[in-house]
Amino acid sequence: HDMKRNASSPIVIGHRGAAGEAPENTLASFRLAAEQGSHMVELDIHLSMDGKLIVCHDDTLDRTTDCSGAIRSLHSDVIREADAGSWFSPAFAGERVPFLEEVYDLLPEDVEINVEVKDSAGALLDEILLDYLRAENRLERTIVSSFDHKLLLRLKQAEPELRIGLLYAADLIHHASYAALLETEVWSLHPHHGLIGAQDAEDAVAAGLHIYPYTSNHPAEWDRLVSIGVTGIITDFPGRLKEYLGRL
């Protein structure tokens, strides 16, 4: 990975694909994000009852499909019957709740994947996820992030090659110092976009960290994030961000 950073051009990270323009966390959304030039896509995962890695933000199917119920208590066969597109627009009827592997299979190799682990179910998910990522160079394409930093530490200990990203919505006293506390290599910080200032960004970059604030959809926010030198921006509108960056 290229460690050089150009402060004026953060990478474009499509949030749940291109969630502003397609149903979040569906293959249609990831396809669109890639077509729009995303360098990376972010997605959320949970484990189904039968141990499959399911791409969905919420822990239930209720909000984003025509079915309901907790993912961890549903068999993947049932989850796969759900329509994950119609709630967004009839144009997306028939979109399915993806398995993680489908997203890797769909996207070109040069699109990186930020897997946000939502389900802190523990050892089982750790093992299933690492087993999956270890095959076919998937580790290289992946950054695993989570609000659960203990989970990230466990994963990093089990697989030192894994890139981990710390997600947080806390107004930390000093972001780079928090990352240093973990005493392991942290790839990236994923703060809420409103909670990272210029000095924190400068110190984090100096410490070799990438900074990928979430979820920022407005040019006024992008102006600030670019000016403080973040290295990526997580957005529901990767196409708009790409265009915006192209005009700088």
Which is nearer to ligand G3P, 30 or 214 (by Cβ)?
214
Contacting ligand G3P within 92-151 (CB under 6 A): 116, 145
Contacting Mg ion within 35-64 (CB under 5 A): 44
Q: Please report the DSSP string for 97-162 in residue order.
A: PPBHHHHHHHS-TTSEEEEEE-----HHHHHHHHHHHHSTTHHHHEEEEES-HHHHHHHHHH-TT-
**Contact range with Mg ion by CB under 5 A, out of 22-30, 64-72, 112-120, 195-203:** 112-120
Q: Out of ligand G3P, Mg ion, none, which partner does residue 32 contact, by CB within 5 to 8 A per kind?
A: none
Which is nearer to ligand G3P, 42 or 119 (by Cβ)?
42
Distance CA 185, CA 120 (A): 21
Find out whether 65 and 87 touch, Cβ atoms under 8 Å.
Answer: yes
Known active-site residue 15: yes
Indicate the burial class of 154 (C-beta count within 10 angstroms; 0-12, 13-18, 19 or more).
Answer: middle
Active-site entry in 1, 39, 57, 218:
57
Helix/strand/coil for 201: helix
Q: How far is the CB of 15 from ligand G3P (least distance, A)?
A: 6
Contact status: 44 vs ligand G3P (CB under 6 A): yes
Q: How far is the CB of 77 from ligand G3P (least distance, A)?
A: 26
Active-site entry in 15, 149, 175, 193:
15
Task: Write out the two tokens for 153.
Answer: 């530490």
Known active-site residue 1: no
Contact status: 152 vs ligand G3P (CB under 6 A): no
Q: Which of 24, 95, 112, 116 binds Mg ion (CB under 5 A)?
A: 116
Q: In the chain, where does DSSP find H-type helix?
A: 27-35, 76-79, 100-106, 123-134, 138-141, 149-158, 175-181, 198-206, 219-228, 238-247
User: What residue ranges bind ligand G3P (CB under 6 A)?
Assistant: 15, 42, 44, 57, 116, 145, 167, 190, 214-215, 234
Residue ranges that bind Mg ion, judged by CB under 5 A: 44, 116
- Which residues have a catalytic role annotated? 15, 57
